[in-house]
Amino acid sequence: MTILLGVALAGAGAPATAKDAPLTEIHQRLRSATDTLAAPAVLTLDACGGGFDAGLIQTLVRLRVPATVFATRRWLDRNHVALQQLRQHPELFEIENHGAAHVPAVVGRRIYGMTSPADVDGIAREIDQGAQAVAQASGRAPQWYRGAGALYDAQGLQTISRLGYRVAGFSINGDDGATASASTVARRLERAAPGDIVILHMNKPGSGTADGLSRTLPGLLARGLRFEKLSQAGEVVPVPDAPRRTAAKP
Ligand SMILES: [Zn+2]
């Protein structure tokens, strides 16, 4: 599988380290995503910190829908039972790297209330330690990286690439970090089509995510949409439109 990043950093010519430089959100989908129902879609489930949305995982197991989990070391350390459940279904779930302590792959900024590392070495440590935790928990070395907040600066993207990982973007933001209502989640998932990569969260039980997913999945499956794990889904490419660029809050 190869990957092309949909990176178009704004402010070309401006220093990438500027505190007000826009950050990049990576939007991707599967290449085989033309109008054929033969192409799969991908569910990615972030486990940033906090708990375990058991209802969400039960729905996926019941419907035999695979997903790729992006877990932090912090989440893996605190959710042993959840990890056991994921590992009981290796045909459905794989675990990829969401970092160690859930700090963004950005130098010296605050994003969504999170403080990012002061330098590139801090970003590299976050990635490395997350990868070690995933390998230890799953028995499989991760291939993909998704930074906390799914926003990146140039140094973050370069560091991820230098360490040999691919940045995991998405084409549908399903739940706004598990803050969206079940009806909003359902409405967004209704749009899922072959080739889409969906981001959801599995670390906030009681959010609208599990309910929205369980309302929508049977209909998507009845329409003929099938799901694959990211590692088995085929080539990932940038979406045609430019990635959304977000100016970080001070
Ligand atoms: Zn996260």
CB 22 within 8 A of CB 9: yes
CA of 9 to the centre of ligand 1 (A): 22
Locus of tokens 């809050």: 249
pLDDT score recorded for residue 181: 97
Other beta carbons within 10 Å of 62 = 10
CA of 115 to the centre of ligand 1 (A): 13
CA of 169 to the centre of ligand 1 (A): 12
CB 73 within 8 A of CB 100: yes
DSSP string, 135-197: HHHHSS---EE--GGG-B-HHHHHHHHHTT-EE--BSEE-STTTTS-HHHHHHHHHT--TT-E
Task: Point out which residues pair with 51 in neighbouring strands.
Answer: none
d(CA 21, CA 193) in angstroms, rounded, equals 33
| Cα four-point dihedral sign 189, 194, 198, 204 | positive
pLDDT score recorded for residue 145: 98
| Token pair in block for residue 95 | 């675990």
| Residue 218 clears pLDDT 60, i.e. is over it | yes
The confidence band for 246, taking pLDDT boundaries of 50, 70 and 90, is low
Q: Which residue has the higher pLDDT, 219 or 2?
A: 219
CA of 73 to the centre of ligand 1 (A): 11
Q: What is the mean pLDDT of residues 229-239?
A: 91
CA of 223 to the centre of ligand 1 (A): 30
**Amino acid at the residue 247:** A
On the 0-12 / 13-18 / 19+ scale of CB atoms within 10 A, 5 is buried
CA of 49 to the centre of ligand 1 (A): 7
CA of 110 to the centre of ligand 1 (A): 14
| Residue 177 clears pLDDT 90, i.e. is over it | yes
Q: Which residue has the higher pLDDT, 35 or 13?
A: 35
d(CA 227, CA 232) in angstroms, rounded, equals 10
The confidence band for 172, taking pLDDT boundaries of 50, 70 and 90, is very high
pLDDT score recorded for residue 25: 94
CA of 42 to the centre of ligand 1 (A): 17
| Residue 11 clears pLDDT 50, i.e. is over it | no
| Residue 248 clears pLDDT 80, i.e. is over it | no
Q: Domain spanning 23-222: which CATH class is it, in words? A: alpha beta
d(CA 226, CA 92) in angstroms, rounded, equals 12
pLDDT score recorded for residue 242: 55
Cβ contacts of residue 248 below 8 Å, gap of 6+?
Answer: 20, 23, 106, 109, 110, 111, 151
CA of 5 to the centre of ligand 1 (A): 20
CA of 35 to the centre of ligand 1 (A): 31
Residue ranges per structural domain of the chain: 23-222
Q: pLDDT, tens digit, for every residue of 98-147?
A: 999 999 999 999 999 999 999 999 999 999 999 999 999 999 999 999 99
| Token pair in block for residue 79 | 């959710």
Average pLDDT over the chain reads: 89
